[in-house]
Chain A
Amino acid sequence: MRDRSFQAFAALPVLLIVAGCVDVQSALNPAGGEAERIHTLSWILIIFCSVVFLGVAIATIIALFGSHRWRQRLAGERLVIGAGLIFPAAALSALLGYSVVIMGIAGSAEGEDGLRISVVGERWWWRVIYIARDGRRIESANELRVPTGQPVRLELTSADVIHSFWVPKLAGKLDMIPGRTNTLTLSVSEPGISRGQCAEYCGGAHALMSFFVIAMPPADFETWLARESEPAAVPVDEAEIQGHALFVQSGCGACHTVRGTDASGTIAPDLTHVGNRHSLAAATLPNNAEAFASWIRDNQHIKPENLMPPYEIYTERELGQLATYLESLR
């Protein structure tokens, strides 16, 4: 916070460009351990480079317009050896050492015995499996919830092509490679929301493959995880019951799982508690009844080439019922 005004001045052009995502998806606004280290390192490098640039500029000016005496000094062997050889070697080595030390912390063993979350890149969404300390696996999708103040180990892999997991506010990006698991440790200090984005082109809907990371106080997180591990809510009112009947009749369960019902498909995102999520369709739409309805009918327009067929078969009323049912899965 202390150098915020300086940052704002120095990064003004960049900020103007990325103003839209400065709150939830900006590396300039770090909220997690690794991102903060990257942030510090970036500023050190920027300041260092600026100082060197300034020095070179001054030397050039002297060489062009300086008095004879100054120009002779500049041409002296001492300056060439000192500023041309020793200084770059020493400064760059120091910076390299510093960056290795500061970034190396990320690869350490912290978070080994804490919460683990397996994140699998799929075309074009994120399969998220919470692996609790007792080994239970709780599947969700397109959203990560993490407790604050403790390291959380993410095990990143891919089910199809190479994706890349990047939450600029929390950490650097890390590729998700089929057949290989890369590990990333997140530690988030304050509760809040961050947005992530697939950072490796993975086909048609790559640009709409995003997600949110929601950091919660540990106690809240435990309560949430306990609820998340429960089977789905049973439909209560008439619209929900009708919506669930449509869900079954239309074969939605062939691809989607709703735990506690016959729907057990593994091709598409788990919908057991979809009503609780911050967004729909991998952060493409807000989460509300209207968005559910338009996604079911128009998903190929909203997110072209996604693997779900468009369902234009429903009447407005039926769409409303389906949306009500899905929204009730909290």
Chain B
Amino acid sequence: MWAKLAPNRLIISLAIILILVVAAGAAFVWSGLYNVAASRDHFWVTTWILEKVREQSVETHSTFIETPPLDDPDLVRLGAAHYEGGCVPCHSRPGEPINAIVSQMLPSPPHLADVTAGEPPEELHWIVKHGLKYTGMPAWPAPIRDDEVWALTAFLMELAGGEMDNYRQLAGLDRVPPGALAGTEPTHRTEAVALTQCIRCHDDAAVSTISSLVPKLGGQSIGYLERALKEYTARVRPSGIMQPVATHLDDREIAKIANYYANLDAQPGQRGIDPARIARGQALATEGDPQNAIPRCLACHSHSRAAEFPALAGQHSDYLAGQLRVWQSGGRDRTAYGQIMAPIARRLTEEQVLDVASYFASLPPEAYRNESASALPDSK
């Protein structure tokens, strides 16, 4: 029948059908008849399409991601500690029921142990980093910090591995004194510390940090601690882990926290580091590598330094090396202080990064911490 119609009549018929379809669609949208209530599930076909699109999209987009080694316990603990602060509100702790309010979202956030089993790590990494549209799953606040996303991925892989009976220990919940969780009682003499639960991850008088990827803060200079927290608050020092925590702090609380940690005794340095690495690191720290335009570290990171420059002695080598790599990948270029370190960090080879991190980790914390006023040139 269609074949008998003249071509121009065919075109006119198609155009009329198209106009009718568009008009019907517009009428439907403007009528408000479609029900957007989260209390009512999608049609089964809508659900099927949404899930299929999501699965295929994640698989395709994570194709070229390369997974670093994830079986490092320090990586898992850092991921777990962040999970407690960042993910638990929706996904709940392993073994505990989903929050009654959150469970009424559509789709409702799943227990991650159920959905991560069998998932490849690169797909988990991609979801954690980018979030998922139309699900309420947010993207990582600092997309440049792949290292942090991998920490959480490492924890999720652990979670996918089966029954997790040591969650409270992994996430540092057992490090917080009773009563501090509610934020009602000041622990460690300052309420701000209780508020943000710094102790869950960072060091305290009795314990070191929860992971070698978390910096020790005891004995650090006030100037540096305040600066770091303010940079997180202003979102110029990207970190999906620290930015959400620091956002809650006002200047008064920042000053209190800085003061608390500056007066805290430092945890001892690291032992058992390869002496050859330490020796090479020491040469770099004390003399630099002028051939490659690398100045000596101790010019800024020693007793004569400005208070805003951090002390590095006794710090974890994993943390130091990790931060140098963040600099190399452009993750710390946005602050005035970060811009000083950035070109220098980029000149370091991976071996030099490990050497110099090992050297500072091997030092006793009190090394180079004498903040005497700078000496003037002797008037010979």
Contacts and interface: CB of A to CB of B under 8 A. Distances in A.
Q: Considering residues B308, B341, B343, B373, which has the most beta carbons from chain A within 10 angstroms of its beta carbon?
A: B343
Contact of B304 (A249, A266, A313): A249
B374 A248 contact: yes
Contacts of A261: 377
B339 A312 contact: yes
Given A253-B299, A267-B288, A248 B375 contact: yes
Interface in B274-330: 288, 290, 293-296, 299-300, 304-306, 308-309
Nearest to A256: B295
B290 A251 contact: no
Contacts of B373: 245
A309 B342 contact: yes
B340 A235 contact: no
B339 A309 contact: yes
Contact of A255 (B295, B308, B337, B379): B295
Given A248-B304, A251-B305, A309 B341 contact: yes
Q: Considering residues A235, A241, A251, A311, which has the most beta carbons from chain B within 10 angstroms of its beta carbon?
A: A251
A251 B336 contact: no
Given A245-B374, A250-B306, A313 B299 contact: no
B306 A231 contact: no
Contact of B343 (A253, A266, A309): A309
A172 interface: no
Contacts of B288: 254, 265, 267
A245 B374 CA distance: 6
Nearest to B377: A261
Nearest to A247: B374
B6 interface: no
Contacts of B306: 246, 249-250
Q: Is the interface of B mostly helix, strand, loop or mixed?
A: loop
Contact of A244 (B309, B336, B377): B377
A265 B299 contact: yes
B377 A260 contact: yes
B376 interface: yes
A3 interface: no
Bin chain A's interface residue count.
20 to 34
Given A255-B295, A313-B337, A234 B300 contact: no
A268 B336 CA distance: 21
Nearest to B344: A309
Given A234-B377, A245-B374, A309 B304 contact: no
Nearest to A297: B336
Interface string B175-206: 00000000000000000000000000000000
B293 A307 contact: yes
B4 interface: no
Interface in B70-106: none
Nearest to B227: A313
B336 A254 contact: no
A25 B118 CA distance: 72
Nearest to B296: A254
A298 to B, nearest CB: 11
Contacts of B133: none
Nearest to B294: A267
A232 interface: yes
A330 to B, nearest CB: 15
Contacts of B336: 311-313
A100 B377 CA distance: 54
A249 to B, nearest CB: 4
Given A245-B374, A262-B375, A251 B300 contact: yes
Given A235-B376, A245-B374, A251-B300, A267 B295 contact: yes
A192 interface: no
B377 A232 contact: yes
Given A250-B300, A307-B343, A309-B344, A234 B290 contact: no
Interface string A288-327: 0000000000000000000101111100000000000000
Contacts of B378: 260
A255 to B, nearest CB: 5
B40 interface: no
B175 to A, nearest CB: 35
Nearest to A308: B343
B228 to A, nearest CB: 14
Nearest to A231: B380
Interface string B342-380: 111000000000000000000000000000011111111
Nearest to A307: B293
Contacts of B341: 309
B375 A265 contact: no
5 contacts: A234-B379, A262-B377, A265-B296, A267-B293, A313-B336
Interface of B: 288, 290, 293-296, 299-300, 304-306, 308-309, 336-337, 339-344, 373-380
A-B pairs with the 8 shortest C-beta distances? A254-B299, A254-B295, A251-B300, A251-B299, A312-B336, A248-B374, A261-B377, A249-B306
